[in-house]
Structure 1
Amino acid sequence: MDTVANYSEKGGVGKTSNSAGMVAEAAERGLNVLAVDLDPRATLTEELGVKDPRFTLNDLLYIDPEADTPPGDPAELIHDAIVRAGDGWPSNVWVLPSERPLGRRETDSTMFEARLRRALEGLDGEIDLVVMDVPPRAGGKLATCALIAAKKVLIPATLTADGRLGAEQALRTIRFVSSPGSGMNENLEIAGVVRSILPKKDDMRAVNHFVNQQLVETFGDKVLDSLTADEGQYPGIVSYSVREECRVACAPITSAPGREAKKLRGWYGQLLDHVVTQKGA
């Protein structure tokens, strides 16, 4: 089972867009996919068509500090927490949904951060790919929870000051979680930094080129140059309106017609090729 987290410590840089696109393209390839929404805003949950879930990630992570008995095993509980994606999404897409109260876990005194990793162990052999949408809170417990559970991390970065800062701050947290002796996830791998929500060629400005240079100086060959580049553009994912149309419609990008949707599908597929070791039927 491959597990990848889309993570930056700034919002609005493409985490959810890339997560939804990767889920859609993986399902199209025949993989059994689980989308894990760790953001209390539940944007990915909504986009995947899940409404009013009975159980959520919040229930899976919560530990009652006053309880006299140990908490339930997440590897068993997760089967009650995951649901199929909504109408319009393929039947091989599952969701571990979020909800607003999940944000309360950030202040919990209980040590719940390893519960998601344990939960995913209960799906081994059932799920091929786990895609995690991680909230942008700097060094927060939910982000740590995702990084402990992940095998690889993709860091989306817009070519803006916020995009660069979010990537650099994410790098600090990743290094902390994966540091020798941390006891958290020493095998965690940065799969790449993804240039995301790129302006179209005619809208590129000097500041965008400057930020790109900063990203390359900081991350080196971790900045993914393997993605197809639009003419006159950096390798990365360009901002197209069809992406927002799919989000509003709660529909996968694989269902959208047109040239722009085809380009987005190609980029999301290239991200999959970069992180997935198992192939669908």
Structure 2
Amino acid sequence: MKRSVGQILGRTGIRIPLILWSLAVLYPIFWMFLGAFKSNAEIYRNPWGFPESFSFDNFVTAWTNYNIDVSVFNSLIVTVVGAVLTLVLAIPTAYAIERINFRGSKILFTVYVSAMMIPMVLGWIPLFFLLSDLGLLDNIYGLAIVYAVSQLPFSIFVLTSFIGTIPRSLEESAAMDGMSPYKVLWKIITPLSMSGIITVTIMNAIQFWNEYFMALIFLNSSENYTLALAIDFISSEAQYTNAWGTLFAGLVIAIVPVIILYAIFQRRISKGMTEGAIKG
């Protein structure tokens, strides 16, 4: 009985702070969703209540007057291109480090892991001049390349852990059957590492979709703005035009895809990160 009471009290003591923290995190998001359906007058009159009538005028204004539609398309291109390019570079690199015994492979892996600890801000100025020299400044594809390179160390670190658990006998059997190393990589190693690949892809995609500072530095034209920059522009305008409902609508447009994506792949992401940690 004492053990049961102690377990109940222990669980309650853990759950109550977690519930309070969840409410503190979720309530601003809930308030933002409500504000997206309110008029500016209603936001000032009743900021914490439910809207009198759910109107989509703010979404229409954000989509048309503030070019959110173009920004969503730009963010989608940057996210997809960046995520795919990261995989194209990370999968062969992780395979080479883990499977090919060459001089300096461990040092190279250590360099990649160490790069995860270097703040990206240190490379912004050199990257600015490099993109300018290459003619990729104010270019969403140039930004996608920067995103892909920035996430390479993390992606290689995770994928190396998964590839290291695949039995070498599978590769040896495939080689005896006449498969080239490239076919072994893409037809055997890649499918068997799919859990880690999906985990890396989703986490990178969320990172690219939400990124703000590098987009602010490397993009200048409004027609190339990503969604984060477009929302920042609406935020600056809202201070003078009171377009708070439009701002909330833009935030909802930005956050809904991330919530849906994470909700769909939550278990796979958690499973992939746990397996990668155990295998590594």
TM-score of the superposition, structure 1-length normalised?
Answer: 0.24
Which is strand-richer, 1 or 2?
1
Higher relative contact order, chain-length normalized (CA < 8 Å, sep 6+): 2
Bigger Rg over Cα = 2
TM-score of the superposition, structure 2-length normalised?
Answer: 0.24
